[in-house]
Amino acid sequence: MPSWGMTVDTDRCTGCEACVVACHAENNLPTVGPEQAAMGRTHQWIRVERYWEGEFPNIKAKFMPVMCQQCDAAPCEPVCPVNATYHTPDGLNAQVYNRCVGTRFCANNCPYTVRFFTWFTPSWDSPMNEQLNPDVSIRTSGIMEKCTFCVQRIRRAQDTAKDEKRAVKDGEIKPACAQACPAKVIVFGDLSDEDSEVSKLSRSNRGRRLLEELGTRPRVVYLSGGGA
């Protein structure tokens, strides 16, 4: 059984937000318009958080892409009354759209604030409706959604590998964000394979996990410092 994980090298991140755009295209994320966006109702399964370090003029912008951390002890999972979110055996924090009744408890209990709610039935102006990804369902109004590690790509690669009677190769699966990143910030792969790139990177002493003091056991490792 694979165990999916990700590393994010914040030292490499330029804050270009290509990952954000790629995620919108891949996962059929609705764009809500300026008014709703101002209310805080955007859908950004991945976002680039910008923090300033130091005081002007010796100031430095730090960028940190944040997506669902797919925690092994995810606080969002047990609070759902209808089992709409649970942990898959390969370590994904699954969100089952058609089970969700919209209590939004999961989002309240997510310390990373990476769950997104569909407040209104989404729509895409023509010709944007022509670019929707057929592999990803469109979410209706009133349900919760979040980063899936591009589960549609994971499952497709697994199916292809199965058809060709081989194992999934390291690097074969690339989530949209990792694929779009020009600076190679994001690396995705199987943590149970000790030789995979993500495995090696996650063991690096540059690694730390976001808010790991809360005991959520996140599956995303952030790399920074150490002169890389």
Burial letters 191-219, b for 16+ CB under 10 A, else e: bebeebebbebbeeebbebbeeeeebebb
Residues in the chain: 228
80 binds another protein (CB under 8 A): yes
Structural contact between residues 189 and 201, judged by C-beta atoms closer than 8 angstroms: no
What distances in angstroms separate CA 196 from CA 48, 150, 170, 186, one per listed residue? 26, 19, 6, 14
36 binds another protein (CB under 8 A): yes
Beta-carbon count within 10 A of 152 CB: 18
138 binds another protein (CB under 8 A): no
76 binds another protein (CB under 8 A): yes
Closest by CA to 90, choosing from 1, 166, 155, is: 1
Residue 96 CB, nearest approach to another protein (Å): 10
- Per-residue mark of binding to another protein, 144-183 (x: CB under 8 A): x---------------------------------------
39 binds another protein (CB under 8 A): yes
- Rounded Cα–Cα distance for residues 200 and 136 (Å): 31
124 binds another protein (CB under 8 A): no
> From the list 11, 17, 25, 105, which residue makes contact with another protein (rule: CB under 8 A)?
105
Residue 111 CB, nearest approach to another protein (Å): 5
Closest by CA to 30, choosing from 15, 47, 16, 45, is: 45
Closer to another protein at the Cβ: 63 or 188?
A: 63
Residue 203 CB, nearest approach to another protein (Å): 22
192 binds another protein (CB under 8 A): no
> From the list 87, 174, 200, 206, which residue makes contact with another protein (rule: CB under 8 A)?
87
Closest by CA to 189, choosing from 68, 46, 90, 75, is: 90
Size of the site for another protein (CB under 8 A): 56
Residue by residue, DSSP assigns 156-193 as HHHHHHHHTTSPPPTTS---HHHHH-TT--EEEEETTS
Closer to another protein at the Cβ: 10 or 118?
A: 118
Structural contact between residues 69 and 220, judged by C-beta atoms closer than 8 angstroms: yes
113 binds another protein (CB under 8 A): yes
**Contacts with another protein, residue ranges (CB under 8 A):** 36, 39-42, 47, 49-51, 66, 72-83, 85-87, 89, 99-105, 107-109, 111-113, 115-121, 140-144, 210-211, 214, 216-217
